[in-house]
Amino acid sequence: MPYRICKTLEIENGHLLSRHPDKCRFPHGHSRKVEIVLQAAELDANGMVCDFKAVKMAVGEWLDTFDHSLCMNTDDPMYPALKAAYGERVIGFDATEPTTEVLARTFFNRIRELLRAYADLPEAPYKLGENVRLVRVRVWETSSSWAEYESGEDS
């Protein structure tokens, strides 16, 4: 049985679901928790899967781009105006509703890339071993609702 750790980061993030039949079609926000689960078959020389600080250093800056940002479907008729007005704080999802499920998949895929890039940094102060892999990302929308994504492949 492999060892697993979870690092949770928090962001304040808004979205609107333009095809939603009720209130979610309007801009609204969530206090999101993003859980990043890593595993390794063996512990490193320090007795860890990896230092939690390595996860924060690898993904924290990128995840912060979602903090106080509005995620939108690029097909929404208001997308061009809001993007022009608020720039990088409006994050477009190409012809896709930015549901919490979609955010979980988006976060998983990018976090996997960022962890791999961090592991390749020879000067990284906190090492990330080659046997460490991303298992899943869980995104909490509310205190009682979450979505998660995990890849079926070896991450």
Asked whether residue 51 is assigned to any structural domain, the reply reads yes
**Residue range of the domain that includes 142:** 3-149
* pLDDT score for 34: 98
User: Any long-range contacts for 88-93 (C-beta under 8 Å, 24+ apart)?
Assistant: 91/65, 91/66
Asked whether residue 134 is assigned to any structural domain, the reply reads yes
Asked whether residue 144 is assigned to any structural domain, the reply reads yes
**Integer Cα distance of 114 and 119 in angstroms:** 9
Asked whether residue 111 is assigned to any structural domain, the reply reads yes
**Integer Cα distance of 5 and 128 in angstroms:** 13
Per-residue pLDDT for 1 more than 70?
no
Asked whether residue 154 is assigned to any structural domain, the reply reads no
Helix (H, G, I), strand (E, B) or coil at 6: strand
Name the pLDDT band for 130 (thresholds 50, 70, 90).
confident
Per-residue pLDDT for 155 more than 90?
no
* pLDDT score for 15: 97
**Integer Cα distance of 6 and 34 in angstroms:** 10
Instruction: Residue 105: give its domain's CATH number.
Output: 3.30.479.10
Average pLDDT of the residues in 38-44: 96
* pLDDT score for 80: 98
Asked whether residue 110 is assigned to any structural domain, the reply reads yes
Looking at the 3D structure of the chain, how many domains does it have?
A: 1
Asked whether residue 155 is assigned to any structural domain, the reply reads no
Name the pLDDT band for 66 (thresholds 50, 70, 90).
very high
Let me know: does 17 contact 97? Beta carbons within 8 Å. Answer: yes
Let me know: does 39 contact 133? Beta carbons within 8 Å. Answer: yes
**Integer Cα distance of 155 and 153 in angstroms:** 6
Per-residue pLDDT for 32 more than 90?
yes
Tens-place pLDDT, residues 73-127: 999 999 999 999 999 999 999 999 999 999 999 999 999 999 999 999 999 999 9
Average pLDDT of the residues in 9-28: 96
